[in-house]
Amino acid sequence: MRATLSPSFTSSKMKSMFVLICNIAEIYAQHYVNKKDKIIEIDFKDILARYTNDVIANTAFGIQVDSLTDRENEFYVMGRDSTNFSKPWRKFTIFIFQAFPSIAKLLGLKILPDKVNDFFLNLVQDTIRMREEQNIKRPDMLGLLMEARKGQGKEFQTEKIEEASFAAVKEHLEENYTKLDLTDFDIASQVFVFFFAGFETVSTAMCFMAHELAINADVQRRLIEEIDENKPASGAPSYEIIANMEYLDMVVSETLRKWPINIATDRVVTKPYTIDPELPSEQPLHLEPNQNVMIPIFAIRWDPQNYENPEKFDPERFSSENRKNIDPYIYIPFGVGPRNCIGSRFALLEMKAVFFYLLSYFEIVPVEKTNVPIKISKSNITLTSENGFPLGLKRRNQ
């Protein structure tokens, strides 16, 4: 399945999806351009969650929603519910799935309520039926999976990926593409994986970036300069323009370094292995098959042995001179190896597009309610702030 989904994120697919993403980013920026307030105070978590929602609806499910104006549209409400990880029962079931997967299966535990499952399944089934009847082909993830079950879509497999961001992980595309025996339910589940894996992660990462820009005025100023230098005289920026903006890439890379939304990842041991001690005080660590090994991404990033002054937001760590000194196993914003994040390129473009548009018109500024330093939520299983991300948008040149 993974080999079949990976072509969603090759350069040509990304370029088609980038056009869809830019349209949405522009709508969001324009929405605030029309407001009269000198400083527009907003919870960035709210607007960036809506933006991420609309991007996924469009590029994964192939439907258009405008969650800024139609604030309680069903797609947004269902999506918000499915990715709310602060509910105690949900946290508990996720823990059981992770720690004791066979018990979770035996008990028939479900992470999501039936009404959410049914909503997304019906939506996908209806869209598939409509596309089949009207012979519609669209460059989104649903379209790709529909092609995969007909044994089409393999041509994307051989396409080379142009790496447009330092943080993007390597993808292995050349093997194992197969015609998949997919039911509508399988397709709905896969499209939903994109929602589940890509909603909270991207929207929260963008919130942290907005917060860092607000409190690091010099970084924001330099980024705005780069945006102004690259802004086309008319129309949307091209994929290539965004991909070649070095400082934007440095700021995004540092955001993902300082604020790893997935604070840890894990692997199951498949064969016995011993980690030898490095210090005289340490013992060898024997790993046995089926044991679960946690990789503490957050702790690795905030360890001063790995990053000098780790609490400092410093995009210079990722300048072209400095990035070659970064050990990829200490950075791992999207994990590592054959089970790394499938959506890294997509996430990076989504982040870059919205900041390109917002900072074309506004500066992001701290407001009275902005927490400095951020208070990290203790009740969420992913990294986020306790009190949202209250910040201001101030029209530039005022």
Write the binding mask 309 to 328 for ligand HEM: x where contact by CB under 6 A, - elsewhere. Answer: --------------------
Q: Check the annotation: does 341 bind a ligand.
A: yes
Rule CB under 6 A: is residue 341 a binding residue for ligand HEM? yes
CB neighbours (10 Å) of residue 384? 22
* Least distance in angstroms from the C-beta of 39 to ligand HEM: 28
- C-alpha distances (whole Å) from 121 to each of 76, 87, 136 are 15, 23, 19
Closest CA to 394 of 352, 351, 361: 361
3-state helix vs strand vs coil in the chain, percent to 5: 55, 10, 40
The C-alpha atoms of residue 52 and residue 41 are separated, in whole angstroms, by: 20
385 DSSP 8-state letter: B
SS (H, E, C) 127-155: HHHHHHHHCCCCCCHHHHHHHHHCCCCHH
Stretch that binds ligand HEM, among 192-200, 219-227, 270-278, 379-387 (CB under 6 A): 192-200
* Least distance in angstroms from the C-beta of 138 to ligand HEM: 16
Give me the amino acid identity at 255.
T
Rule CB under 6 A: is residue 166 a binding residue for ligand HEM? no
Give the H/E segment covering residue 285.
strand 285-287
* Least distance in angstroms from the C-beta of 1 to ligand HEM: 9
User: Which residue from 7, 79, 237, 333 is in contact with ligand HEM, where contact means CB under 6 A?
Assistant: 333
Site for ligand HEM in 28-87 (CB under 6 A): none
Q: By C-beta, is 346 or 394 nearer to ligand HEM? A: 346
Site for ligand HEM in 204-223 (CB under 6 A): 205
Cβ atoms 191, 142 nearer than 8 A: yes
Count of residues of this chain found to bind ligand HEM when the rule CB under 6 A is applied: 23
Q: By C-beta, is 343 or 392 nearer to ligand HEM? A: 343
Q: What's phi and psi for 390, nearest 5 deg? A: -70, 120
The C-alpha atoms of residue 321 and residue 304 are separated, in whole angstroms, by: 20
Rule CB under 6 A: is residue 347 a binding residue for ligand HEM? yes
Rule CB under 6 A: is residue 194 a binding residue for ligand HEM? yes
Greatest Cα pair distance in the chain: 70
Cβ atoms 155, 239 nearer than 8 A: no
Q: By C-beta, is 40 or 142 nearer to ligand HEM? A: 142
Rule CB under 6 A: is residue 343 a binding residue for ligand HEM? yes
Helix, strand or coil for residue 357?
helix
Stretch that binds ligand HEM, among 37-45, 241-249, 260-268, 271-279 (CB under 6 A): 260-268
The C-alpha atoms of residue 362 and residue 393 are separated, in whole angstroms, by: 6
Rule CB under 6 A: is residue 143 a binding residue for ligand HEM? no
Q: By C-beta, is 129 or 339 nearer to ligand HEM? A: 339
Stretch that binds ligand HEM, among 74-82, 95-103, 226-234, 340-348 (CB under 6 A): 340-348
Cβ atoms 376, 225 nearer than 8 A: no
User: Which residue from 201, 216, 220, 253 is in contact with ligand HEM, where contact means CB under 6 A?
Assistant: 201
Q: By C-beta, is 341 or 391 nearer to ligand HEM? A: 341
Stretch that binds ligand HEM, among 103-111, 212-220, 258-266, 358-366 (CB under 6 A): 258-266
Give me the amino acid identity at 286.
H
Q: By C-beta, is 52 or 370 nearer to ligand HEM? A: 52
The token pair at 338 is 């054959």
Rule CB under 6 A: is residue 255 a binding residue for ligand HEM? no
Positions at the binding site for heme: 341
